[in-house]
């Protein structure tokens, strides 16, 4: 499991702060998506994270938790923990500070074999993640490519994640990041609401992430996006 994630092309992101029915979960897990990522920026607690985990755990699909902070780290019942660092912020808490606090004040029982670091490049200034992390979102393709290359070649992050979080991004920016990345897996997330958009971003990103569309349009759109990137 720890290596199979490198071959995923489609991930579905579910937010612990958003209600979802068991019937919808059944449609999601049978859509052909490669994995479920439990992730959110606001109002995520151990309680609602575990409630969502209980809802999806019975299905035979890889489960990833992407914690918004140290308080949302869990290891039991999941396959992998994707831990983000935001590259394009001046606030060091979101690059390394939260991570140091996690190790400093945690109980020491870190399952390192489950931990996968992510280099986030956040590009939607209206998004919760953009506002919380104070990311410099108004940067162009050249700057994004430079961040992606630094993350990949210097810091050796295994994942570089282009995050537009609710908005559909610029394919030229994603292409620039793809051209800059040599070793990392390139993720793209944001505004994937159709097969056409999934296919367009899937030309450049190794893995696309579909999140809001599941809640806004229903699980049927998920099958369309899966078909588009297969």
The mean predicted confidence, pLDDT, of the chain is 91
Q: Is 85 annotated as a binding residue?
A: no
**Residue 161 marked in a binding site:** yes
For residue range 137-146, list pLDDT tens digits in order: 999 999 999 9
Residue 195 has pLDDT above 80, yes or no: yes
Q: Which domains does the chain have, with CATH numbers?
A: 4-229 (3.20.20.390)
**Is residue 140 annotated as involved in ligand binding?**
no
In this prediction the pTM is 0.93
Question: Which of 115, 181, 175, 171 lies closest to 147, judged by CA?
Answer: 181
Tens digit of each residue's pLDDT (9 = 90 or more) over 21-45:
888 888 899 999 999 999 877 777 7
pLDDT at position 19: 86
Tell whether residue 147 is among the known ligand binding residues: no
Residue 1 has pLDDT above 60, yes or no: no
Beta bridge partners of 13: 37
| Residue 21 in marked binding region | no
Higher pLDDT, 110 or 192: 192
Other CB atoms within 10 Å distance of the CB of residue 225: 29
166 is in an annotated binding site: yes
138 is in an annotated binding site: no
More confident residue, 3 or 223: 223
pLDDT of residue 58: 80
> Is 13 within any annotated ligand binding site?
yes
Q: Is 191 annotated as a binding residue?
A: yes
The answer on whether 78 is annotated among ligand-binding residues is no
Q: Are 142 and 180 in contact (CB under 8 A)?
A: no
């Amino acid at each position: 499991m720890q290596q199979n994630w490198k071959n995923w092309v489609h991930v579905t992101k579910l937010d612990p702060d958003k209600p979802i029915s068991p019937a919808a979960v059944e449609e999601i897990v049978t859509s052909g998506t490669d994995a479920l990522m439990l992730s959110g920026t606001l109002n995520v607690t151990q309680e609602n994270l575990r409630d969502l985990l209980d809802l999806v755990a019975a299905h035979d699909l890889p489960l990833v938790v992407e914690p918004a902070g140290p308080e949302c780290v869990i290891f039991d019942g999941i396959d992998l923990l994707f831990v983000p660092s935001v590259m394009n912020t001046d606030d060091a808490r979101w690059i390394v500070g939260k991570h140091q606090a996690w190790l400093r004040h945690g109980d020491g029982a870190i399952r390192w074999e489950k931990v996968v670091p992510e280099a986030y490049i956040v590009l939607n200034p209206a998004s919760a993640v953009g506002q919380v992390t104070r990311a410099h979102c108004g940067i162009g393709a050249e700057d994004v490519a430079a961040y992606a290359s630094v993350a990949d070649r210097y810091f050796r992050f295994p994942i570089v994640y282009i995050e537009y979080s609710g908005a559909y991004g610029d394919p030229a920016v994603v292409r620039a990041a793809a051209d800059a990345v040599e070793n990392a897996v390139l993720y793209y997330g944001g505004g994937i609401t159709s097969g056409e958009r999934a296919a367009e971003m899937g030309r450049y990103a190794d893995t696309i992430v579909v999140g809001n569309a599941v809640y806004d349009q229903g699980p049927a759109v998920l099958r369309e996006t899966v078909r588009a990137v297969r």
